[in-house]
Amino acid sequence: MGDITIPANDMHHLLADPTRGSGTSYQQAFAELAATHRGRPVAEIVPLLRAAADAALLGFTGADLAEQAEAISTGARYELRVRVTGT
């Protein structure tokens, strides 16, 4: 399970927000990778997750991304604990 803290105003970077027309959320990018990269090597998935996290302005650690990549590769559930700050 991963942990991330983000300001409330930046939740659209993490979660899909249909009221914001542009940009891809990390949630969308993760879901697309999960649908297309199951069974692929973790080392192949991590850079794709890093690019998605960087594009979404999210500061996941290398360990977080490796854990997420492992879940995608194996088809396992991944749980992310999100702490939202006031702004």
Structure confidence at residue 17 as a pLDDT band (50, 70, 90): confident
Going along the chain, which residue ranges are E strands? 2-7, 80-85
Sequence-distant (≥ 6) Cβ neighbours of residue 75 within 8 angstroms: 34, 38, 39
Write out pLDDT tens, residues 55-78: 999 989 999 999 999 999 999 999
Do 86 and 7 touch, CB atoms closer than 8 A? yes
pTM above 0.85, yes or no: yes
Taking the CB of residue 14, how many other CB atoms lie within 10 A of it?
A: 20
Q: Range of 11's domain? A: 2-85
Q: What is the band of 20 on the pLDDT scale with cuts at 50, 70, 90? A: low
CA distance 56 to 61: 14
What percent of the chain is predicted at pLDDT more than 70?
93
Q: What is the total count of domains within the chain?
A: 1
Please determine, for residue 26, whether its predicted confidence score (pLDDT) is greater than 90. yes
